[in-house]
Amino acid sequence: MIKLIVLLGMIISSIIIMPIADAQKFEKATFQESLTVVYDKKLSNSITVSVGLETTSNNEIRFSEEIMKKMKSNEKIKSIVFTNAGECVIGVTTEQQCIMVNFNYEEIRGDGGIRLVQESVRVMGDEIIDDLNDMFRTDTIFHSTFIHTQDNANVLLKTSGIISGKGSVSATYVTDKKATDFLFTDLAGVLIPKEIRESGGFYDVSKMLAKHDDSIISISVIPNEDKDFYIFKVTKEIKNIGTDIKFINVLENFGIDRISRSDYFDNKLVPLNSVIQLIIIPEENRQVSAISTHAITDLTKIENVMKKGWFLSSPAGDMIDLRFLFGENKTVLAEELLVETAPWDMQSEMTFYSVEDIEEKLIEEKIPEANEQSQYAILALIILVGIGAAIFYLKGYKPKH
């Protein structure tokens, strides 16, 4: 159960990097590609890697007109999720895949009890499941109404429980599990237009990830009054890791040494629509101590987001969260995405190193065994953070005490 919540929680986490910088100067792009790596040393001792395609346009991830009509006519539906993750709720086996129609528990319960919730959710789920089976090419049958009572992963990842988590209730339908590579080929051809499929970029990485036997696929839609949100995501969990999180090569678990933006964005000024996210959940508090490209400290200035680099959303504490932006670049190399972390006691000064586009006081440090040929060029930026410090050098960041 926790694994699924982590997986689906990651879906929402990718939303928060949507364009906020001087938006009137950017072209409007509804499509976004994201690559996420989660090093979880606290909950599951695993690495979770995923590639997501997300959009607010039904022309870029195409749910049927009938499904969208039924969702719009029932405001109680909060999201729909298809996944072959297995064990999507208690009682579902690892050899099954699920369609979940999700509702807000409190809205459904009203003045009634659990029985009313179960009956109402089942009826509303049944009204749309035939259309979902047609779209996902499945023959699912009703399994259960499941009330989500925990959201430990949502709390740790600072994500919303709108898809699944504490406070939601799901009408769950199951069928026999199919391999991710089969589902990817079948469903991408139906849901994703040819123009995106043939534009490379993160789509090609997700297609490659789907070939792994232990990868899973999830497809979701979250209705909204203004714009609906559609997600097509491939995920793989690498379990029981002994990886040291001192030095992290973000791309190594994908088996690639470079990544390019989709050709779909060519000739468009959309620097925030290709995002690489790194989340680290350490056993003890840690800080980012070095990155191999410059730090973007302010997303409100267009000149900042036009230069590739890391935006440190949460650079220290019990969860580290970094977002890499391509700026005006089409491709980035693995050595440009290297990140180093170190222990942090929340009281001593915080020392942070970053490559900046200046020519003074560069310090070279060799990368460990994983990449012996490359060099870590770092510029020392000493950031003093005392017990009473209110704000880190990133706008809005506060140390966690």
For the chain, the structural domain boundaries read 2-281
pLDDT tier for residue 359 given thresholds of 50, 70 and 90: very low
Cα–Cα distance measured from residue 276 to residue 208, given in angstroms and rounded to the nearest whole number: 17
Quote the pLDDT of residue 152. Answer: 39
What single DSSP character describes residue 40? E
Q: What is the DSSP string of 137-206?
A: T---EEEEEEE----HHHHHHT---SSSSTTEEEEEEEEE---HHHHHHHHHHHHS-HHHHTS-THHHHH
Residues 6 or more apart in contact with residue 97 via CB below 8 angstroms: 82, 83, 84, 85, 86, 88, 138, 140, 174, 175, 176, 177, 178
pLDDT in tens, 299-356: 777 888 888 999 988 889 999 999 999 988 999 999 999 999 999 877 766 655 555 4
pLDDT tier for residue 203 given thresholds of 50, 70 and 90: very high
Quote the pLDDT of residue 184. Answer: 97
pLDDT tier for residue 28 given thresholds of 50, 70 and 90: low
Quote the pLDDT of residue 297. Answer: 81
Lowest model confidence (mean pLDDT) among 102-106, 210-214, 216-220, 346-350: 346-350
284 pLDDT above the threshold of 50:
yes
The one-letter amino acid code at 89 reads V
Quote the pLDDT of residue 35. Answer: 96
Residue 296 corresponds to which tokens in the numbers above?
């973007």
pLDDT in tens, 134-158: 999 999 999 999 988 765 334 333 3
Residue 15 corresponds to which tokens in the numbers above?
């939303």
22 pLDDT above the threshold of 50:
no
Higher-confidence residue: 296 or 241?
296
Residue 48 corresponds to which tokens in the numbers above?
């979770």
Mean pLDDT of the chain: 78
Q: What is the mean pLDDT of residues 237-250?
A: 84
Mapped onto helix, strand or coil, the DSSP state of residue 244 is coil
39 pLDDT above the threshold of 90:
yes
The reported pTM is 0.79
Cα radius of gyration rounded to whole Å, the chain:
22
pLDDT tier for residue 166 given thresholds of 50, 70 and 90: low
CB 102 within 8 A of CB 168: yes
Q: What is the mean pLDDT of residues 279-308?
A: 87
Residue 256 corresponds to which tokens in the numbers above?
């690639």
Quote the pLDDT of residue 45. Answer: 86
**Residue 154 vs residues 231, 351, 378: alpha-carbon distances, Å:** 18, 29, 34
